[in-house]
Structure 1
Amino acid sequence: MAKSSTPVRKARRSLIWLLVIIGMLVAGNAASVIFSNGSWTPKLALDLEGGTQIILAPQLAGGEEARPSAEQLSQAVAIIRQRVDASGVSEAEINTQGGSNIVVSIPGRPDEETLNRIEQSAKLEFRPVLIAGAPGTTSVGETPTPGAEAPAGETPAAEAPAGETPAAEAPAAEAPAETPAPELESTPTASPTDGSDLAWVTPAQQAAFDAYDCAAADNDNSAAPEDEPLITCESDGSVKYLLGPVGVSGERISNATSGLETTQQGASTGRWAVNIVFDGEGTKQFADISTRLVALEAPRNQFAIVLDGQVISAPVTQGAVTNGKPSITGSFDQESAKTLADQLKFGALPFNFTVQSSELISATLGSAQLVSGLLAGVIGLVLVVLYSLVQYRALAAVTIASLVIAAIVTYLLITLMSWREGYRLSLAGVAGLIVAIGITADSFIVYFERIKDELRDGRGLVSAVESGWKRALRTIIASDTVNFLAAGVLFILAVGNVRGFAFTLGLTTIVDLIVVCLFTHPMLQLLANTRFFNEGHRLSGLDPRALGAVYRGRASFRTPVAGGGGKNAPSAKEAERRRTIAERKAEEELVSSGRVRSTKSEKDS
């Protein structure tokens, strides 16, 4: 009794876990509908819903049109595609037009953050500050490691040196309206020795700085030379700067991520930051410059971070950053920090682009194609159900129920990802869902046939279910692993709608394993203990007589009695066909030793 009850307890536990998973998915979708802009239906891709088409035209400094080379255009398309994908927008299309323009088609209406990802060049520069209209309000330092201490001889970036007020906490009332440049002769007496040398501030530069208006509409510093000073402002126009030449270029960035700023003890400050990782050369350059700036007086101890010609942050350097991992802090929120990190991670566009036009476009295929795709899926599902009824009779109820559970889990996952990750269902994705019906049915067939093999060997149904599951699970895992790897490779290498097909194929493969393990097998464990299935009712699909079951006694191999045209003849033929090579060889050895008569002799007699 204990042995027979153990599979039942395991089956009930598995079904409870399945209900928990479905409940969590339903709760997640409900939360998206109640507290956010979620929906109970998945978002559709460009081919089924339509969206927004943006045409980008390359521009030179001063607003003149540029004609990039084919290589530059391909590079820009690749960078924009990476930025759009990183934003969570799925099934976007990025193409070229006329050998110079770039056409970006995005499903639905893109938000402002998505447009910024596309339009901005994201040319990042680190320049020393020579003159500033107001002191900085942020600080820069090494990205802290929780629990780590500052190296000896270095001042932690999170803390100001003794006796000084941290830049992030400097009272606004004490900040001077403008830090005047020192009086200079008409002609510099010496050439600048480094990027922070005030010899860069010539009378002409001073006059240009005094006359510069941050509110002017024609300000465009995105193409300023890297080896010359730059006059620019904060992105919000609040502070004006005269900056030295570029100290570190954004090309030296190997990675960039966003997250909440933490202290060296691992505590969160609640401010969003962009964490940068330089390559080897960039690490050396930033270490040299940050070491130099620490010893200078304000505002020359500030390091301006310039994005597309505008200062996004001008932190005070409170410690030498020698690990090549500075952290940018400022007026970031979660979205703006992630946007900047993605832009820096994928690199600057080879040209500045302006929006030539932005308009709504209709679906390229339309709802009729979606209905056709869903109809094809329904037809495939009906054929699978009919085959299961003919082949497995009452056992087909498990197949149908498993397919329904798989459809529910898949639908909830796709809907939840539409809200959380911006996933959109395309017609290619629908094709992946249709293919998944065959993958799921294949797993059931493998399992059911293994159970039949065990019944033919003379096992009882409860034992056949457990033994058949152990043999079938290996085959199912191997098959699903191959499907998942194929979907993964296709998703990584492909672009556009093909990725949608690969995504749904991989997702449904995972769902198949979940349903088989947490529903199909537990249901058979429970059904095996019912009288209808356990006694092998002829409509159960597990009738031992219909399967040609063989009783194997000790040292003997026998088949059901064969008759010329009796009702047992098909069972005998089936049993003979199902015998393994090992069984046949063992019988031959016994026959040769005279211990048992051969099957052929029994038939002849």
Structure 2
Amino acid sequence: MLDIPLWKRIVIWGLIALGLAFALPNAFYSRVEGHNDALAEIETLGATPERTAAAAGWPDWMPNSLVNLGLDLRGGAHLLAEVQVTEVYADRVDGMWPEVRDALREARDEVGTIRRIEGEPGTLAFRISKPEAMARALEIVRGLARPVVTLTGVGASDIAVAGDGDTITLSLTPEEQAATDDRTMQQSVEIIRRRVDEVGTREPTIQRQGADRILIQVPGIGSASELKELIGTTAQLTFHPVVGRTTDSTQSPGPRQLVLPSVDEEGVFYIVEQTPVVTGEELVDAQPAFDQNGRPAVNFRFNPSGARKFGDYTAENIGSPFAIVLDNEVISAPVIQSHIPGGSGIITGQFSVEESTNLAVLLRAGALPAGMTFLEERTIGPELGQDSIDAGRIACIVAFGAVLVFMVLSYGLFGVFANIALILNVGLLFGLLSMIGATLTLPGIAGIVLTIGMAVDANVLIFERIREELKTARGPARAIELGYERALSAIVDANITTFIVSVILFTLGSGPVRGFSITLGLGILTSVFTAIFVTRLIIVTWFERRRPKTIEV
């Protein structure tokens, strides 16, 4: 009656062995972490005796996935940033000026000449010389409108155009502003993630909070100021035509012109046109390099659209200076010597090797679409993280020991079997966390402690059911079989409802709530597996060997 096919036994023990193998590296955390770091450095920077020795600290044929430690356990930096989403509106409408200008120029005979004027912030204003043709001009400009690509903005246009006398004003519609805000936040989150990932930090938490805020938590980084330096730089790279240069910072530029300081030449300022020819958004690659004089520099390459603009401009302006501007500072202003096709070039300046590498990282990750204000910043030292680990370890040991003692006192030998399954359950849980690369936080430790308490719940149901079956004078084999069969529905129902709750917590929660839900959900899976399959296999194996006439649960 208690018959488990051989293939099932092989599968059960095979899954246990696999889970424990993935959990094993966590018992040698420092050694495996050094091995992983050394392999990554060898791949990117090349092999050295020290890196090779560190990589040899753990066998290559063994799993090397670890449970990542969260900010509260490892220490690191915490930032809460507010994105200035309204800054993007002005850039959007400013970028539409060339398209509007070209469209109206084609109808110059009808609307006359056009001239841009200063308007309200976030608007584009210009005058036409033939006010009587205002209706035709509005028709042309409104023809440039595009539909808003969002579910809430279906049927709306992206621009609102109004005319008054001889002046036309263009602005973004509320629907397009909402869509722009959403895109700005998504882009900011992704760019911050890429910048943080570039420096090799482990499992950062970067997520949107509310309408215009981003939570950034990076374990293992030195301080909040270091994190701010990494992500706080806008790294907005633009290429502008140079109008002139001056040593007077108070000089008033012409319309649609800017006065920007030079990084390399102290006291020198460049007057450039405000609208750039090409922007960093059209960059597809940037790598640290050296120029022809052996000085650190950065090679860059544009996408096809940027390459076409860059090539056309250099072909038409040979002999003219061209300003390369990074965050409103002219880092280089070379003279165009010849047509530069292909969309590639080099940025030179007074860089160190480290500065050229960091600049390449920022340009590769992309420019932040808007500025950020840091509302909250904290640095969590590794000592605090170690205290949290020690406290969590004590909690787990106390909970684990109490459950082991309770099960032995309550169910005797069957309690020992349940304890063996409980130990395997914790090992499988850490194996799953390692396999998926999960991050363990203090709430995650709380989930593990709760899992330890809940793990024996299924065994308690089964053992109590076996006790009931033994009272009906059935033999021990039949009592064990019926105990598992009749307790199964209660076990599945109870754990499914708890698992659903953990899924809801993971879906709707954030940060600590998600950490708790992950360990709770995975703990439920391993608990059900060990209770229904592992404990039963252990009991059946014992029963086949001993063949007892009676059993005492």
TM, length-normalised to structure 1: 0.45
Structure ranking higher in strand proportion: 2
Give the number of the structure whose residues are more often helix, by fraction. 2
Report the TM-score when normalising by structure 2: 0.48
**Bigger radius of gyration among the two:** 1
